[in-house]
Amino acid sequence: MTAVYSFALGTGTQNSKGEWLEVFYPSPQLGASQKVIDILKSVLWYAGGNEVLAATQEQMRVLAEQFSVAGEGDLAKTAMKLSASRQPLVATVLINDEKPTTAPEVYLKLHLLSHRLVKPHTTTLDGMFGLLLNVAWTNEGAIDINELAERQLQARVEGRLLEVMSVDKFPKMANYVVPKGVRIAHTARVRLGAYLGEGTTIMHEGFVNFNAGTEGTAMIEGRISAGVFVGESSDLGGGCSTMGTLSGGNAVVISVGKECLIGANAGIGIPLGDRCTVEAGLYITAGSIVQLIDADGKLADKVKARDLAGKSDLLFRRNSINGAIEVLTNKSAIELNHELHAHN
């Protein structure tokens, strides 16, 4: 009996050297039955370990038949569908969650995140950047950046526009999967590998990087940097900022708890607990000295903002008379506008 971390059938794009630019896995899954593994051994000579198995159209049809016989109806359906593709086909097996060693493995893990099969920070992505090529994402699919100029000229000459939407190592999520119960007003701002909880709305000014996202219901009009996870029923105002783990200067992973409200154009350089509010336009950096105000409105203490990391029920504001950053206990529960969350 072989324990399996993840398995998926896919089709992808390679450059003229046969290197992978991207892989689309329509139905990735955690785990796989022994029968599935045995079929892979028999049809694709799977020899164990984490492996990306190339498959011909004919092999994919055989997989479909054998999956069907083995009672793996969903896999059979996907395999049958994919077998019609003229683009390269793969069956990717991850026995364990070790760091990826090929682009198709990275893509599988990014799919697991965006399909909500694993949460941010729970799958190993170490070294992924070096495995991904810089790709031109176009209306004619993924194109190797070194092959772009010729393709653009060729398209022009043939009277077509080759629309280059992005030049990046990561594609946009929505061209791979749109999980249930979300709205994404502008898909160019959510990378594959984002985790969007059910009930999340990403407005036009919202942004979500990979390995980051929202637990559940959320109204996101600000930027969720790589590694940042936002709790249930929190609201990120327009243009607000969360410092990413990639942005240097801070080894602490930023997160936002439940029922928080970060105001428009505000920002945080510390993790927030639950029911915290940051006033619109105020940026809290880890090194900011903030004044603790007690229930009587008196100054109780001065601390660095980083000392408040992860604490709940705080309200951050800048005193508009004396310019000091103050923190109060947030008595008013955040009342999320239900009309807003249901619709907007």
Q: Is 309 in the site for a second copy (CB under 8 A)?
A: no
* Comparison of 39 and 228: residue with beta carbon closer to a second copy: 228
**Entry field: residues in the chain:** 344
Which residues are known to be catalytic? 221
The one among 76, 290, 293, 314 contacting a second copy by CB under 8 A = 290
Under the binding rule (CB under 8 A), the answer on residue 26 touching a second copy is yes
DSSP 253: P
Q: Going edge to edge, which strands form the sheet with 194-196?
A: 194-196, 212-214, 229-230, 255-256
Stretch that binds a second copy, among 65-73, 94-102, 219-227, 252-260 (CB under 8 A): 219-227
Residue 267: how many other CB atoms lie within 10 Å = 19
φ, ψ dihedrals at 322, nearest 5° = -115, 0
In Å, what is the CA distance from 292 to each residue of 23, 163, 283, 308, 325? Answer: 51, 53, 17, 10, 9
In angstroms, what is the minimal distance from the CB of 258 to a second copy? 17
CB 34, min distance to a second copy, A: 27
Among 48, 74, 156, 307, binds a second copy (CB under 8 A): 156
Stretch that binds a second copy, among 30-38, 41-49, 64-72, 281-289 (CB under 8 A): 281-289
Residue range at the interface with a second copy (CB under 8 A); choices 28-36, 46-54, 90-98, 279-287: 279-287
Report in angstroms the alpha-carbon separations of 33 from 38, 39, 93, 95, 100. Answer: 9, 10, 12, 12, 22
Query: CB atoms < 10 A from the CB of 190, how many?
Result: 27
Q: Does 87 participate in binding a second copy (rule CB under 8 A)?
A: yes
Is 99 near a second copy (CB under 8 A)? no
What would the two tokens of residue 49 be? 């370990």
Residue window 168-197: x/- pattern of binding to a second copy, with contact defined by CB under 8 A: xxx-x-xxxxx---xxxxxxxx--------
Q: Which is nearer to a second copy, 42 or 344 (CB)?
A: 344
* 300 is a site residue for a second copy (CB under 8 A): no
Answer for the pair 241, 209: CB distance below 8 angstroms, yes or no. Answer: no
Through-space distance between the first and last CA atoms of the chain, rounded to whole angstroms: 50
Nearer to a second copy, 171 or 257 (CB): 171
Amino acid (one-letter) located at 177: V
Per-residue binder mask for a second copy (CB under 8 A), 226-265, x = binder: x----------xxxxx-x--xxx--------------xxx
For a second copy, the binding residue among 227, 257, 269, 271 (CB under 8 A) is: 269
